[in-house]
Amino acid sequence: MYPVFLKLDGLPCLVVGGGSVALRKTGPLLSAGASVTVLSERFISEFDIYPAAKLIKEKYRKGFASGFKVVIAATDDDTTNSEVYTDAIAYGSLINVADKPELCNFFVPAILDRGRLKIAVCTEGGFPALSAKIKTELEELYPERYEQLVDKLTELRNNIQAVESSHEKRMERCRKIAASEAICKFLEGDDNALEGEFITI
């Protein structure tokens, strides 16, 4: 497998299904900025929390997946899921069929989200519960403070790029900052711990 993070802002994505699994798949797509269509004959009431999703109340019909960049099949009907998979493959879409690893050309990992920092854990559909367990363990190793840390480091890197023309020297300066004690101090709550790093490194 080749792990990637996709930029989905504004891209058309399709979720087929109207139950709890489809609901769980819809939220992250919307959070990534995708234009999400959800197709199902019935929807659980919880879909009301996603007004940005376009809900279409009808049965999946052959060819509906055309034009969607990412397709997720999350129905409880194997025949429908297989049809969605066949269409998505024919149209060159990324397709994930819930609980059917053999009908996927990508997998949705368990994700620890700390702003710009994303840590994804995947078992290639083999045992998703293990991915969820590892994600929970990572939450303790990488607390919410990491979101502010990455934002601050991004600011420092931008400053370095503005004054340092050599790629090698830019990388060396960034490596020294990442290995500095100031990182630990910042994570412990010292907002100013990294202020001098741009000048001193």
| Residues 32 and 93 occupy one common structural domain | yes
Looking at the DSSP bridge assignments, the partners of residue 111 are: 120
Task: Mark 67-82 as b/e (b = at least 16 C-beta within 10 Å).
Answer: ebbbbbbbbeeeebbe
CATH classification of the domain holding 60: 3.40.50.720
Residue pLDDT, tens place only, 149-163: 999 999 999 999 999
The answer to whether the CB of 21 falls within 8 A of the CB of 42 is no
The answer to whether the CB of 187 falls within 8 A of the CB of 149 is yes
End-to-end CA distance of the chain: give it in Å, rounded. Answer: 38
| Residues 5 and 76 occupy one common structural domain | yes
Q: Can you give the pLDDT at residue 200?
A: 59
pLDDT above 60: residue 201? no
Domain of 72, in residue numbers: 1-108
| Residues 150 and 136 occupy one common structural domain | no
| Residues 131 and 65 occupy one common structural domain | no
Determine the angle formed by the axes of helices 167-178 and 145-163, rounding to 10 degrees: 150
- The whole-angstrom separation of Cα 34 and Cα 104 is 20
Q: Average pLDDT of 163-175?
A: 94
The answer to whether the CB of 111 falls within 8 A of the CB of 135 is yes
| Residues 104 and 169 occupy one common structural domain | no
CA distances from 176 to 149, 150, 173, 179, 192 (A): 15, 15, 5, 5, 17
| Residues 26 and 79 occupy one common structural domain | yes
Residue pLDDT, tens place only, 43-95: 999 999 999 999 999 999 999 999 999 999 999 999 999 999 999 999 999 99
| Residues 124 and 88 occupy one common structural domain | no
Boundary (domain end) residue, out of 54, 87, 108: 108
Number of H helices, E strands in the chain: 7, 7
Whether the model pTM is above 0.85: yes
| Residues 46 and 19 occupy one common structural domain | yes
| Residues 37 and 72 occupy one common structural domain | yes
Residue 16: exposure state from Cβ atoms within 10 A (0-12, 13-18, ≥19): buried
Q: What single DSSP character describes residue 66?
A: T
Q: Average pLDDT of 118-127?
A: 95
Counting the structural domains of the chain, the total is: 3
